[in-house]
């Protein structure tokens, strides 16, 4: 049924394309067609730049969203980012820029207050029509937190009028199972106050498959398979008020509560044969039901004062995150169904974060001087208990796997920034300091790690505008990345009975120095980045040939060198056909000590994207998006090539108040991830991850009310990015 549906969508799409030329020719008089044959005859087309204004802001790509045909069929802002140059979205909706950098998400110049899961939901709640532009910053200056190795700044439209307005958006994704998203936005604006409420409810089922083939030390062949089904419900409410006290003072208060309930079932199997694959050595099945709950509470206060050329702002944040998870791990003999092993886990995790930040800026002549100071405190506590079924058929506490872990971190930071323009040349310089004091306490294994370090982080950028059509920017920055809490926590996360990963409380922060050059000619933008990262945080596999257990452990690599070349060119082929071509090339060199050896390989890979938009009569828009990723990997693993095709159709009704979209993501179900271990003398292992990203979707959004006032969004701190 699914295959027939995909074929039908292909036929419908190309049927539309065939009619598009006919419609274009019928609507234009013959005399005009003859005078402009290059825009109506594909065989004699003249490639022209599309009238979509892109620009550079201190070397960062700025792209319009509202009114941009490239994003007209996009369901939400997450879908917009999926097609934006330099941005990639993985199968679990993780966002990356500049290769594999997880960016901070900003709204109108400030980061949003949400955990990674909530952030995905929030981006899905934003329609492209209310977003003015996005700015992609892969080399942030010293003004920003050192944790931010990349930033995506989303600028919302600022239409202001009195009254109230509202919008509803609903999306449904359908394959074997379905998933539904619902968001209601309400806002009311008076002369002095704006009130806003956002209510969201998402629920449905998603699936994941894992398969592996490993040649064991005994030369036996072991096949691992797992099928996971997640049934999730998410409730969210955001409410706040923005007070315009007078012309100089503004105060904002926001409160949010988010609750997630996730029931997961994971069924797996281990099937081992001899090297000839004719004799069965082991044949077991496993069950892993799980119940996961997350409860978030966040409060944000935001005050700003502006008088002529002076501006002062204060930002305060409180965040509380509680995670609870209970698992059962049951392993049976497939033929007899006898229980071979059975253990339970009970996890409680609580994270509390407080931050305060003060920024001030003053214009002196043609120069802008900015300074700021920030304090943040975070406290995380994890307690996971394992109980194992004994031979007496009772559950007994398992101290070898249980763990209590706490982590506290205090950060004092400050910066000084200078910006000035000399005719066509603009100079930006900055210096930031960050003092980090942390204590990690693994109670169960009686291990305490204390750190106190100060880092100075400079930045410099030069931008030169040759003329309105071309500009060049060169920038340098130094950043630091602290390990996230889950990377430090030394307890086991199981993927299968013989496969799990463990955190490392001794991980060091990494430091990155890089130089980036960007050039724009009209709508064609090219950037080149080169840099070096020290104390790279990564995971590595450790195989035990006696037990056949495969662990993934955390460590710091001495260094890696990297380079990135990206180019994006929008092209208008005809009045009804636009293409944006994107090409990215990556270079990575890791110096990786591993099991008494050193592996250092030069890895090259590339990515090609083609985003095609077809505009038809009666307001129909069709989008065909193609993405190809070449073979890549690192010093230990090879990652096989993959590609995906998305198709979607959009139509607006009732003076653009009602917007409908239908499409199919990952149309050919070709976007799984296949990895293979490079060094067969150590371990012969290959495995595949598959997510149900191949789905039919239907989207409906409706705007109502009298006001077009856009409320100010809430902010997020860099520590909250690290709660994931």
H/E segment holding residue 550:
strand 550-574
The stretch 711-722 carries a mean pLDDT of: 46
- Report the pLDDT value the prediction gives residue 673, as an integer from 0 to 100: 95
The stretch 560-573 carries a mean pLDDT of: 93
The stretch 190-219 carries a mean pLDDT of: 91
H/E segment holding residue 474:
strand 470-481
The token pair at 465 is 């505008």
Q: What are phi and psi of 371, to 5 degrees?
A: -150, 155
Q: How far apart are CA 314 and CA 282, in angstroms?
A: 63
Query: What is the C-alpha end-to-end distance of the chain, expressed in Å?
Result: 38
Instruction: Average the pLDDT over each of 3-17, 94-108, 420-434, 684-698 and give the range with the smallest value.
Output: 3-17
Q: How far apart are CA 684 and CA 211, in angstroms?
A: 14
The token pair at 7 is 């074929």
Q: Which of 136, 7, 163, 141 is nearest to 63 (CA)?
A: 136
| Cβ-based neighbour number of residue 161 at 10 Å | 10
Per-residue pLDDT band for 195 (boundaries 50, 70, 90) equals: very high
- Report the pLDDT value the prediction gives residue 590, as an integer from 0 to 100: 93
Go through 559-569 and write b for each residue having 16 or more CB atoms within 10 A of its CB, e for each that does not. Answer: bbebbbebbbb
> What is the bridge-based pairing of β-strands 151-156 and 104-107?
parallel
The token pair at 244 is 């315009």
- Report the pLDDT value the prediction gives residue 13, as an integer from 0 to 100: 45
Please give the full DSSP string across 97-165, using - where no structure is assigned: ETTTB-PEEEETTEE----HHHHHHHHHH--GGGEEEEEEESS--TTS-TT-S-EEEEEEP----SEEE
**408 contact partners, CB below 8 Å, separation of at least 6:** 377, 378, 379, 380, 438, 439
The residue to which tokens 């463990």 are assigned: 502
Q: How far is CA 190 from CA 186, 196, 575, in A?
A: 14, 12, 43
CATH superfamily of 47-721: TonB-dependent receptor, beta-barrel domain (2.40.170.20)
252 and 240 Cβ atoms separated by less than 8 Å: yes
- Reported as a single tens digit per residue, the pLDDT across 374-394 is 999 999 999 999 999 998 889
The token pair at 76 is 């939400």
- Report the pLDDT value the prediction gives residue 113, as an integer from 0 to 100: 61
The stretch 416-425 carries a mean pLDDT of: 94
**81 contact partners, CB below 8 Å, separation of at least 6:** 87, 89, 95, 123, 134, 152
Q: How far apart are CA 186 and CA 626, in angstroms?
A: 36
Q: How far is CA 657 from CA 614, 660, 707, in A?
A: 22, 10, 13
- Reported as a single tens digit per residue, the pLDDT across 32-86 is 333 333 333 434 343 443 445 788 888 888 989 988 888 888 888 888 999 998 8
The stretch 192-211 carries a mean pLDDT of: 93
- Statement: residue 294 has pLDDT above 70: yes
Q: How far apart are CA 614 and CA 602, in angstroms?
A: 40
Most confident residue range from 85-89, 122-126, 493-497, 513-517? 513-517
**195 contact partners, CB below 8 Å, separation of at least 6:** 187, 188, 189, 240, 241
3-state secondary structure of 549: coil
- Statement: residue 688 has pLDDT above 90: yes
- Report the pLDDT value the prediction gives residue 403, as an integer from 0 to 100: 86
Per-residue pLDDT band for 275 (boundaries 50, 70, 90) equals: confident
- Report the pLDDT value the prediction gives residue 86, as an integer from 0 to 100: 87
Computed from CA positions of residues 633, 637, 643, 644, in that sequence, does the dihedral angle turn out positive or negative? negative
437 and 408 Cβ atoms separated by less than 8 Å: no
The stretch 284-309 carries a mean pLDDT of: 92
83 and 74 Cβ atoms separated by less than 8 Å: yes
> How many CA atoms does the CB half-sphere of 17 hold within 13 Å?
15
506 and 534 Cβ atoms separated by less than 8 Å: no
H/E segment holding residue 14:
helix 2-27
Q: For residue 617, how far is the Cα from the chain centroid?
A: 35
3-state secondary structure of 706: coil
Beta strands in 390-446 (DSSP E): 395-397, 403-422, 425-442
Q: How far is CA 115 from CA 23, 237, 293, 323, in A?
A: 48, 14, 14, 12
710 and 160 Cβ atoms separated by less than 8 Å: yes
Q: How far apart are CA 264 and CA 496, in angstroms?
A: 14
| Cβ-based neighbour number of residue 24 at 10 Å | 19
Mean pLDDT, rounded, of the chain: 86
> How many CA atoms does the CB half-sphere of 341 hold within 13 Å?
13
Q: How far apart are CA 19 and CA 643, in angstroms?
A: 28
Q: How far apart are CA 55 and CA 63, in angstroms?
A: 7
Burial of residue 387, with CB atoms counted within 10 A of its CB: 0-12 exposed, 13-18 middle, 19 or more buried:
middle
Beta strands in 190-220 (DSSP E): 193-215
The token pair at 441 is 């306490």
- Report the pLDDT value the prediction gives residue 125, as an integer from 0 to 100: 79
- Reported as a single tens digit per residue, the pLDDT across 622-644 is 999 999 999 999 999 999 999 99
Greater model confidence, 130 or 208: 208
Q: How far apart are CA 167 and CA 157, in angstroms?
A: 15
Please give the full DSSP string across 358-388, using - where no structure is assigned: EEEEEEETTEEEEEEEEEEEEEEEEEEEEEE
- Report the pLDDT value the prediction gives residue 714, as an integer from 0 to 100: 44
- Reported as a single tens digit per residue, the pLDDT across 601-617 is 999 999 999 999 999 98
């Amino acid at each position: 049924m699914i295959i027939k549906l995909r074929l039908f969508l292909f036929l419908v799409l190309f049927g539309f394309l065939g009619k598009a030329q006919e419609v274009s020719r019928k609507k234009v008089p013959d005399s005009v067609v003859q005078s402009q044959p290059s825009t109506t005859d594909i065989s004699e087309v003249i490639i022209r730049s599309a009238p979509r204004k892109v620009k550079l802001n201190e070397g960062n790509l700025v792209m319009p969203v509202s009114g941009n045909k490239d994003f007209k069929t996009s369901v939400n802002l997450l879908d917009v980012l999926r097609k934006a140059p330099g941005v990639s979205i993985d199968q679990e909706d993780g966002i990356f820029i500049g290769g594999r950098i997880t960016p901070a998400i900003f709204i109108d110049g400030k980061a949003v207050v949400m955990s990674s899961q909530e952030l995905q939901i929030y981006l899905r709640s934003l329609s492209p029509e209310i977003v003015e532009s996005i700015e992609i910053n892969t080399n942030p200056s010293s003004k920003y937190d050192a944790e931010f190795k990349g930033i995506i700044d989303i600028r919302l439209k600022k239409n202001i009028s009195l009254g109230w307005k509202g919008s509803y958006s609903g999306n449904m994704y359908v394959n074997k199972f379905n998933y539904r998203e619902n968001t209601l936005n309400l806002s009311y604006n008076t002369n002095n106050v704006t009130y806003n409420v956002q209510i969201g409810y998402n629920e449905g089922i998603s699936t994941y498959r894992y398969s592996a083939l490993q040649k064991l030390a005994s030369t036996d062949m072991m096949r691992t398979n797992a099928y996971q089904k997640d049934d999730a419900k998410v409730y969210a409410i955001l409410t706040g008020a923005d007070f315009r006290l007078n012309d100089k003072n503004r105060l904002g208060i926001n409160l949010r509560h988010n609750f997630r309930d996730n029931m997961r079932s994971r069924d797996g199997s281990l099937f081992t044969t001899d090297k000839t694959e004719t004799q069965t050595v082991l044949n077991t099945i496993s069950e892993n039901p799980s119940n996961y709950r997350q409860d978030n509470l966040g409060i944000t206060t935001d005050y700003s004062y502006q008088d002529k050329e002076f501006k002062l702002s204060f930002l305060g944040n409180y965040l509380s995150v509680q995670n609870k998870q209970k698992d059962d791990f049951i392993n049976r003999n497939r033929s007899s169904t006898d229980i071979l092993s059975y253990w339970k886990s009970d996890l409680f995790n609580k994270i509390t974060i407080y931050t305060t930040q003060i920024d001030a800026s003053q214009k002196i002549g043609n120069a802008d001087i900015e300074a700021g100071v920030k304090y943040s405190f975070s406290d995380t506590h994890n307690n996971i208990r394992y109980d194992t079924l004994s031979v007496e058929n009772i559950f007994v506490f398992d101290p070898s796997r249980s763990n209590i872990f706490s982590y506290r971190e205090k950060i004092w930071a400050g910066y000084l920034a200078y910006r000035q323009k000399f005719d066509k040349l603009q100079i930006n310089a900055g210096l930031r300091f960050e003092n980090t004091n942390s204590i990690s306490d693994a109670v169960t294994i009686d291990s305490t790690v204390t750190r106190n370090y100060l880092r100075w982080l400079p930045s410099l950028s030069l931008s030169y505008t040759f003329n309105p059509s071309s500009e060049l920017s060169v920038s340098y920055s130094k950043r630091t990345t602290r390990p996230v809490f889950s990377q430090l926590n030394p307890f086991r996360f199981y993927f299968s009975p013989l496969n799990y990963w463990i955190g490392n409380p001794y991980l060091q922060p990494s430091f990155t120095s890089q130089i980036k050059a960007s050039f724009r000619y009209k709508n064609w933008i090219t950037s080149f980045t080169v840099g070096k990262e020290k104390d790279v945080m990564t995971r590595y596999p450790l195989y035990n040939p006696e037990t056949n257990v495969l662990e993934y452990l955390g460590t710091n690599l001495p260094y890696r060198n990297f380079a990135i070349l990206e180019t994006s060119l929008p092209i208008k082929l005809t009045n009804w056909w636009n293409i944006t071509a994107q090409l990215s090339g990556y270079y990575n060199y890791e110096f990786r000590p591993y099991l008494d050896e050193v592996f250092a390989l030069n890895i090259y890979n590339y990515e090609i994207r083609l985003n095609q938009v077809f505009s038809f009569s009666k307001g129909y828009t069709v989008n065909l998006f193609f993405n190809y990723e070449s073979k890549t990997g690192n010093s230990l693993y090879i990652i096989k090539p993959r590609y995906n095709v998305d198709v979607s159709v959009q139509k607006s009704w009732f003076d653009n108040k009602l917007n409908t979209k239908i499409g199919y993501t990952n149309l050919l179900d070709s976007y799984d991830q296949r990895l293979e271990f490079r060094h067969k003398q150590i371990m012969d292992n290959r495995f595949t991850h598959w997510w149900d990203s191949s789905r039919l979707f239907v989207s409906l959004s409706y705007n109502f009310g009298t006001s077009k006032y856009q409320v100010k969004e809430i902010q997020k701190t860099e520590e909250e990015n690290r709660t994931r």
